[in-house]
Amino acid sequence: MTAPVSSSPCQPGQSRSNAGDRSRKLQTMVNDGKRIRLVLVVGARPNYMKIAPLYAELRSDPLFEPVLVHTGQHYDEKMSKVFFDDLHLPQPDVYLGVGAGSHAEQTARVMIHFEKVLLEYRPDWVVVVGDVNSTVACAIDAAKLHIPVAHVEAGLRSRDRSMPEEINRIMTDSICDLLLTPSRDADDNLRREGISEDRIVFVGNIMIDTLRLHIEEAEKSAILDTIGVSSKQYGLVTLHRPSNVDNPRRLAEVFDALEVVQRKLPLVFPIHPRSRKMLAEHGLQGRVDAMSRLHLLDPVGYLDFLKLQKHAVLVLTDSGGIQEETTVLGVPCLTIRENTERPVTVQQGTNVLIGLNTERIVMEAERVLCGNGKRGTIPELWDGHTAERIVALLRRRTGLTVPAA
């Protein structure tokens, strides 16, 4: 763990300097041989793919000193460590180990522990990603200590405030200094909420940086052979949102559909721990065990899952990130939700919102199997260079003209 930089231009407890003062102080730091310290926050599985390319890009720039903080919101080996390994992320500089709990408990624990990190490290910027509890908790801590915060993947909106992620997105965007958006509709969302134009920057989708960087490596995975399925001869399923898995009626309706689909096509289902728990609690485990062509797996790593996505004939999911990845991979995606915070994947990509109706799920799956799956295009700036654009922007925002080595 590196020692804090005592001359940070935006130390906790001080009022925020104006842009000119901060620029002069940062220029002095560089002239003195010091680096700009950024704390990058990860907490849950979706965060890792968003932070990995940015961390690597910052590490390669002599101007910046990235510090990686893992809150421990996803804290077991299957949901955390394997992703660090697959994405070649180093061990975190700080691990908070907050663990599970209610939304209030988890958010509070992150805030208590992360504030201490900020007071010790005194960063010049904090970077948060996505929409999990760690995202909003760390953004609040930094904002109250007058440390500039950048939000990667800002501006996404589902218009559904029953989703805890939607509350996290709105709160995070309202207090961050720099809102880095993955799509043009996200810019529009922020403008409608009264966010000033100088805080909004369209940079593209950083998840796609990770996908493009690892797609060849993922091809080496033996996961298809391990399961016993062939390319384009199976469907892939993920299901984890509380609105789907916590409601016994809704969960039963989804499995009514999966029972029909798996008779026509083998289904591979790396099951989230929450979903597995709910199958047992809702009395569905025996029924699922009887589905001979539904392959339930423990959670798999990023490379294995990427290969599973690429070679699937269709994907059934309630995940946000998978809607994006399937769009880039050109795989039809059937999203088991009534709404999405990523409408660009529906408007331009391969994604179709199909809700929770059993008949609709079966009908759309059959449509794909008949060769009529949705074919889309890749949205603007989903090109694998988002991390580069973010780092270039951070250099410009400091007012520094020192070229990278």
Closest CA to 35 of 6, 64, 67: 64
Burial of 370 (0-12, 13-18, 19+ CB in 10 A): exposed
CA–CA dist 172, 129 (Å, integer): 10
Q: Quick one: which H or E segment has residue 350?
A: none
Structure token digits, residue 132: 């999990």
Active-site residue 240, yes or no?
Answer: yes
| Residue whose pair of structure tokens reads 């603007």 in the numeric block | 380
The partner residues of 161 in beta bridges, in order of sequence, read none
SS3 105: helix
Residue 54 CA to residue 302 CA, distance in Å, equals 17
Query: Using CA atoms, how far apart are residues 93 and 66, in angstroms rounded to an integer?
Result: 10
- What residues pair up with 64 in beta bridges, in sequence order? 36
The candidate with the shortest Cα–Cα distance to 314, out of 242, 245, 243, 362, is 362
- What is the C-alpha separation between 215 and 76, in angstroms, rounded? 25
> Which candidate in 74, 113, 151, 240 is catalytic?
240
The residues, ordered by sequence, that sit 6+ positions from 380 with a Cβ below 8 Å of its Cβ are: 183, 184, 204
Element (H, E) at 365: helix 358-367
Question: Which active-site residues does the annotation give?
Answer: 240
